[in-house]
Amino acid sequence: DQQVKQNSPSLSVQEGRISILNCDYTNSMFDYFLWYKKYPAEGPTFLISISSIKDKNEDGRFTVFLNKSAKHLSLHIVPSQPGDSAVYFCAARQRQGAQKLVFGQGTRLTINP
Amino acid sequence: DVKVTQSSRYLVKRTGEKVFLECVQDMDHENMFWYRQDPGLGLRLIYFSYDVKMKEKGDIPEGYSVSREKKERFSLILESASTNQTSMYLCASSLFRDRNYEQYFGPGTRLTVT
């Protein structure tokens, strides 16, 4: 039972445009959400996070939006750069779930020059 | 800067062999995790540990065991490797009270079981 879903396995965006990566979740007990970025042959690295008490968090070119009623979050990257080409994972923490994270399947983002 | 290291980047083992994957972190983190990453399935939690000698099962513990004898080291053991355990294995660590719940990952070990 996939509690965190990234339904788009891949996304291709032109350099300079906006990249929008989506993530849906089913567990209403999730109270914190994170995005990780992974390059080939490297471990995932933390990108940005958001608490369930907020609906937006921004860090430079990266913004995460949370829609609790729809159980949906999205990561916006603007403007997209070639170095953003990577696999992006959405993750969620369950309230009372200690320090565990539940990850989505990942979306491979390719930025075309 | 947090560093999580894994003993091997690539490993090839035969079916039935006992396999040890080692993970070491240098930031005195209480929590350590083992995941496997497979195409289309994302990262799935195998085991985690909050403290020395403490372990808890994750979502897919079958066929695996772990050991945490020292705070900085967390080992994943495949008692009898099988071909369906061919995968990328990722170790991670985090602070117990990290308000961002951020986990720091090692570079991964790509294990092939033939």
Over residues B67-103, the pLDDT tens digits come to: 999 999 999 999 999 999 999 999 999 987 767 788 9
Chain B residues within an 8 Å CB radius of A34: 100-102
Residue B18 has pLDDT above 60, yes or no: yes
> Which of helix, strand or coil describes residue B70?
strand
Chain position carrying tokens 């471990």:
A43
pLDDT (0 to 100) of residue A95: 67
Q: Do residue A45 and residue B105 have CB atoms under 8 angstroms apart? A: yes
Residue of chain A with shortest Cα separation from B37: A105
Chain position carrying tokens 């209403």:
A28
Q: Do residue B41 and residue A98 have CB atoms under 8 angstroms apart? A: no
Q: Do residue A99 and residue B105 have CB atoms under 8 angstroms apart? A: no
pLDDT (0 to 100) of residue A22: 98
Residue B3 exposed, middle or buried by CB count within 10 Å (0-12, 13-18, 19+): exposed
Looking at the complex, report in whole angstroms how far the Cα of residue B108 sits from the nearest Cα belonging to chain A. 6
Looking at the complex, report in whole angstroms how far the Cα of residue B41 sits from the nearest Cα belonging to chain A. 5
CB of B25 within 8 A of CB of B72? Answer: yes
More confident residue, B97 or B44: B44
